[in-house]
Amino acid sequence: MTRKGLLYGISAYGLWGLFPLFFKQLQHVGSLEVVLHRMVWSLAFVLLVLAALRRWTWLREALRSPRLLATFAVSSLLLAANWLTYIWAVNNGHVLDASLGYFILPLVNVALGFVFLHERPRPGQWLAFGIAAAGVLWLALLTGHVPWIALGLALSFGFYGLIRKLAPLGALEGMSLETMLLAPLAAVALLWGHQSGSMPAHDTHTWLLFLLCGPVTAIPLLLFSAGARRVPLSTMGILQYLTPTILLFLGTLLYGEPFAGPRLAGFALIWTALLLYSVDGWRHRARPAAA
């Protein structure tokens, strides 16, 4: 493990945690329009990166593979759903629900691995999953409805990660292909929206924020990719909790979302599950090393 790789990982997860500070600046714009601009300007940015790195050889083979295009069409839709849910949550006072979604994401990954990859969770992982499910059920009973924002974020990104795990493209190439599939549709939707009057005109400041959606989206992903190549997967698994922790502090301290009482109890169950999950993973990795 290198110090530079650790810095890349911390930077990626830290920037993802700070996303509300940026997207709150677009609170006056509809969430769907923000996502559409994010698709368009993300493509513009990754094309610049690909041009700078001269990394085009993969594209010809990708465009010749209908199966690969279909796979990334599904992953791009899941990514768009995740973006839309996240931005709507942030701009409508549900930062804590977004935090909860990314806290339970590792446990959703365990369930998806069991169902689709035929992985066999260890007893400790099953226990962690059960406690997390109890926490979600408690929050559902508390609010009178299923915490759909948290579950929507966790499930959409969980399935997205599952598809990307099986797909043969790297982080930059995969994101490039996804935005190539999404951006044309997004551009048509934006043109139609402005021409029909359903999307209002915006000032220069808002357009600057739209342009920044490209690097804001792509830079953390590139940092994550660079960190993942230099840092053990177990370390990246621990660092991933940095994102929902930052979201938790932003939601409570900066945006004043309520957190005390029964809601805290639900989060405590989730944290207990994550602690068990982390300890179980650490013990499992330590045994081969000791042997």
Residue written as token pair 């994102």: 243
Characterize 85-94 residue by residue with b for buried, 16 or more Cβ atoms within 10 angstroms of its Cβ, and e for exposed: bbbbbbbeeb
Give the confidence band of 289 by pLDDT, cuts at 50, 70, 90.
low
- Whether the pLDDT of residue 164 is over 90: the answer is no
CA 179 to chain centre: 15
Q: What is the pLDDT of residues 84-127, one digit of tens each?
A: 999 999 999 999 999 988 888 887 887 888 888 887 878 887 88
Judge whether 132 and 269 are in contact, CB under 8 Å: yes
Contacts of 184 (CB under 8 A, 6+ apart): none
Q: How many angstroms separate the CA atoms of 249 and 242, rounded? A: 11
SS3 27: coil
Here the contacts of 208-211 (C-beta below 8 Å, separation 24 or greater) are 209/22, 209/25, 209/26, 210/26, 210/37, 210/41, 211/41
> Which pLDDT belongs to residue 254?
94
One-letter amino acid at 167 equals A
Tokens coding 249:
């502090």
Q: How many angstroms separate the CA atoms of 119 and 263, rounded? A: 32
Q: How many angstroms separate the CA atoms of 1 and 235, rounded? A: 9
Question: Which of 204, 210, 217, 212 minimizes the C-alpha distance to 190?
Answer: 210
- Whether the pLDDT of residue 288 is over 60: the answer is no
Look at 1-10, 75-84, 153-162, 173-182 and tell me which has the smallest mean pLDDT. 1-10
Q: How many angstroms separate the CA atoms of 260 and 252, rounded? A: 10
Contacts of 82 (CB under 8 A, 6+ apart): 152, 153, 156, 157, 160
Q: How many angstroms separate the CA atoms of 179 and 34, rounded? A: 15
> Which pLDDT belongs to residue 260?
73
> Which pLDDT belongs to residue 233?
58
Compute how many other C-beta atoms are within 10 angstroms of the C-beta atom of residue 226.
18
- Whether the pLDDT of residue 232 is over 80: the answer is no
Of all residues in the chain, what percent carry a pLDDT higher than 70?
94
- Whether the pLDDT of residue 48 is over 80: the answer is yes
pTM greater than the 0.75 cutoff: yes
The chain-wide mean pLDDT, for the chain, equals 87
Q: How many angstroms separate the CA atoms of 115 and 25, rounded? A: 40
Question: How is residue 253 annotated by DSSP?
Answer: I
> Which pLDDT belongs to residue 9?
85
Judge whether 235 and 1 are in contact, CB under 8 Å: yes
Judge whether 258 and 106 are in contact, CB under 8 Å: no
> Which pLDDT belongs to residue 282?
74
Of all residues in the chain, what percent carry a pLDDT higher than 90?
47
> Which pLDDT belongs to residue 67?
93
SS3 284: helix
